[in-house]
Amino acid sequence: MESKIKISFPDGNTREFDKGISGAEIAKSISSGLLREALAIGVNAEVWDLSRKIETDASIKILKWQDADGKKSYWHSSSHLMAEAVESLFPGTKFGIGPSIDHGFYYDLDMGSHTLTPDDLVKIEQKMFEFVKRDAPFIRTEKSWEDAVAYFKQKDDPYKLELLDELKGQQISFYTHGNFTDLCSGPHIPSTGRIKAIKLLSVAGAYWRGSEKNKMLQRIYGISFPSQKDLDEYLFRIEEAKRRDHRKLGKELELFVFHDIAPGAPFWLPKGMIMFRELEKFLREELDQNGYQEISTPILVKKDLWEQSGHWAHYRDNMFLVECDETTYALKPMNCPESTYIYRNKIRSYKDLPLRYSEIGRLHRNEISGALGGMFRVRQITMDDAHIYCRPDQILDEVNSLIDLVARFYAIFGLKPMYNLSTRPDEAMGDPKLWDRAEESLKQALDGKSLKYNLKQKDGAFYGPKIDVQIEDALGREWQIATIQVDFVMLPERFELEYIAEDGSRQRPVAIHRAIFGSFERFIGIITEHFAGAFPIWLSPVQAVVLPITDAHMPYANKVADALRSANVRVELDDRNEKVNYKIREWETKKAPYMLIVGEKEKSNNSVAVRQHTKGDLGPMILEDFIRKIAKEISEKSLT
């Protein structure tokens, strides 16, 4: 019997270990420092507890706090620690689910008639710290399905029993630490003592399993860190995020508002539409230079189209449906299928390809009301879509060009892209060999540009793998925006697209789906928070404001404003009967890039006294010189 196994490390090195070695033992064999930092272990793309035995050859990665999966394990373990504290303080509580989330963790609780208060959160937090001191290990055990059901029947826990109904016939994993045991697939960190800094943030209502038909539970949100310094920095960022909230700034800066009359759809105000149009203009200029042709397709389409594309089976619950003349229509939730009708408008030759069709399309998606959140989750979406139809031998060039295009777009906003490669999901349509080919094309493009990327197994769309592009904002938050998807299946196969090849045969084109902003709504929400409302001058709704010192200086102020307008600068003239210092303070809060104060001296010298947002007084400047300066900053899309 083979007693040794081969372990491969991320740097490409391999070592032999005794069969049944644990992740903790591997970490210790490398260094005691690594063992102290280790939280979990990646084993063949799965995440395990460090205590689990490895029985076969495997590729591994020791996961620390710096690793995303390390944080997930840490926060998942923190949710279990919180549940133990709740059970200790409020016996009889029934537990729903308690996962990690992007930042922190939560647990759903059925506490009967008791409603949690802020004082309760303080008590739970204190009890968690008490339990941390015991440094109890997280112990994984496995039970038969029957034994697991018996255990939770004894505890009279309907929520765990419902979850077990979906796991019949399987071995069921449990985790125990201290006096708390929970149904859980893991993984967890070695022990509770690793959790150093804890803050319970809020309580919210949450329907069991997200369904409005089920009971409303109480959800406690929390966060934890390996040090108090990390927690303090996070709490500071939370407060800063509240200050930057795009819903608050959107209203204050008169960009957009929301009303109950149209849930999940913004009302764009005139200043917000200036930003919207500037983004459209910028996008169209770039695409015109990159060989795109703009199209527009209908918003309301018969369900037949969505049945043919596969969206009816995968996406029907998210569509708004309309019945007319005994026919079912849907407001389009995406632009993809309709672009095929443009392609099929005439016979295509291999010489015609690639065809790059862009569409700034209005989409509608029936998001549940509880998921709506300002511009970040809306029902009405304006997507900067494009569908590129090309030959298989053109895929790499097209994907390379798209990666370059995305990088240029984000550089304008001072944002650096990060990349994820998402592969075939379980519900994928089409031939696995085509998926392998598409995944290899995307991988080859990323590798060819020496770009670092994360591999997200089974996270592709149902019709194709994709490159997801993320950015990090001023608060260190990551946002997924752009996508590049290679599609051999949905559009080419289901819509029987063809082109005449050089040898006269009929061949299938490849479709590449791409979005750069993602959606105008979400992107504007993101950059509103990223810039805290102080947008780059080319995008700012008001680029300069003229402030006359007294009414006697109004004629000259009008002359300054007119000169700026003639230079295509967006300018406002503040002619209110208020003191200049008051106006300056107010325009600072409105994030105006430049304030131009004009009085007797400026009138005599044909100049302006210039103040720049956050930088203060720049001193006097001849009007023509200032116009050249601001026009240059606008044309160059300056960030400062």
Domain ranges of the chain: 4-64, 69-237, 256-297+333-530, 544-635
Q: DSSP of 241-259, one letter per residue?
A: HHHH-HHHHHHHTTSEE--
> In this structure, what DSSP letter does residue 517 have?
S
542 in Cβ contact with 570 (< 8 Å) = yes
How many Å apart are CA 262 and CA 265, to the nearest integer?
6
How many Å apart are CA 57 and CA 8, to the nearest integer?
8
Question: Using one digit for the tens of pLDDT, what is the confidence trace for 90-147?
Answer: 999 999 999 999 889 999 999 999 999 999 999 999 999 999 999 999 999 999 999 9
What stretches of 69-185 adopt beta strand conformation (E)?
94-95, 100-101, 104-110, 139-143, 172-177, 180-183
**What is the CA 76 to chain-centroid distance, rounded?**
21
Model pLDDT, residue 457: 82
Q: Which CATH superfamily is domain 544-635 in?
A: Anticodon-binding domain (3.40.50.800)
| Ranges of residues in the chain whose predicted pLDDT is under 50 | 1
Q: How far is CA 541 from CA 78, 313, 615, in A?
A: 45, 43, 19
Residue given tokens 């300054």 in the structure block: 560
Three-state DSSP at 225 gives strand
Host H or E run for residue 624? helix 623-635
Model pLDDT, residue 85: 96
**What is the CA 551 to chain-centroid distance, rounded?**
50
302 in Cβ contact with 321 (< 8 Å) = no
- CATH number for 69-237: choose from 3.40.50.300, 1.10.510.10, 3.90.1150.10, 3.30.980.10: 3.30.980.10
Q: Kindly state the tokens that stand for 317.
A: 């619950």
Model pLDDT, residue 489: 81
Name the fold adopted by 4-64.
Answer: Ubiquitin-like (UB roll) (3.10.20)
- CATH number for 256-297+333-530: choose from 3.40.30.10, 3.30.365.10, 3.30.930.10, 3.40.630.30: 3.30.930.10
Q: Which of 198, 156, 151, 205 is nearest to 173 (CA)?
A: 151
Question: Using one digit for the tens of pLDDT, what is the confidence trace for 519-575?
Answer: 999 999 999 999 999 999 999 999 999 999 999 999 999 999 999 999 999 999 999
With both helix axes pointing from N to C terminus, report the angle between 228-244 and 520-530 in degrees, rounded to the nearest 10.
120
How many Å apart are CA 97 and CA 95, to the nearest integer?
6
Model pLDDT, residue 2: 59
Strand order in the sheet with 4-8: 14-18, 4-8, 58-63, 40-43, 46-48
φ, ψ dihedrals at 173, nearest 5°: -95, 140
4-64 against 256-297+333-530: fold identical: no
N-to-C CA span, the chain: 68
φ, ψ dihedrals at 266, nearest 5°: -80, 150
Q: Count other C-beta atoms under 10 Å from residue 222's C-beta.
A: 23
Question: How deeply is 613 buried, as exposed, middle or buried, from its count of CB atoms within 10 A (0-12, 13-18, 19+)?
Answer: middle
**What is the CA 399 to chain-centroid distance, rounded?**
21
Q: Peptide bond before 263: cis, by omega within 30 degrees of 0?
A: no
Model pLDDT, residue 455: 83
Model pLDDT, residue 462: 76
